[in-house]
Amino acid sequence: DAMVIQNPRYQVTQFGKPVTLSCSQTLNHNVMYWYQQKSSQAPKLLFHYYDKDFNNEADTPDNFQSRRPNTSFCFLDIRSPGLGDAAMYLCATSRDLQKNQPQHFGDGTRLSIL
């Protein structure tokens, strides 16, 4: 049973056209994360929510925003996608922020920019 679900698996958008990626979880975890992963690179944390508290990484571009309307759902909004934003976007959850808590990843959404 899928526990962290990302839709769609593949998303194509035009340069500058806003796009929203979605993530849902059935684990009832408190923390949800968004990562960007480019080809053959490590996942890079963009931001995370602990419950309703939003935490943005210092180097996350202003172009990227997130919403978490409830425990189960989290969205990544890219306001004006540029060619450099083409990547795999991974959503992950963890039960809480304890150091030994594993993160559970979704299968990702691969974003292409035309």
Question: What count of Cα atoms within 13 Å lies in the side-chain half-sphere of residue 1?
Answer: 4
Report in angstroms how near the CB of residue 42 gets to another protein at its nearest: 4
Q: Is 5 in the site for another protein (CB under 8 A)?
A: no
CB of 109 to another protein, least distance (A): 11
Q: Does 7 bind another protein (CB under 8 A)?
A: no
Query: Is residue 112 a contact point for another protein (CB under 8 A)?
Result: no
Tell me the number of residues near another protein by CB under 8 A. Answer: 24
Among the residue ranges 20-28, 44-52, 70-78, 79-87, the one whose residues contact another protein (CB under 8 A) = 44-52
Classify residue 102 by its DSSP letter.
P
Cα–Cα distance between 74 and 49 in angstroms, integer? Answer: 9
For residue 82, the 8-state DSSP code is -
Measured CA to CA in angstroms, residue 44 lies from 2, 14, 24, 71, 80 at distances of 23, 23, 20, 23, 20
Per rule CB under 8 A, is residue 100 in the interface with another protein? yes
What gap in Å lies between CA 30 and CA 108, rounded to an integer?
20
| Site residues for another protein per CB under 8 A | 4, 31, 40-45, 48, 50, 55, 57, 90, 92, 97, 99-100, 102-108
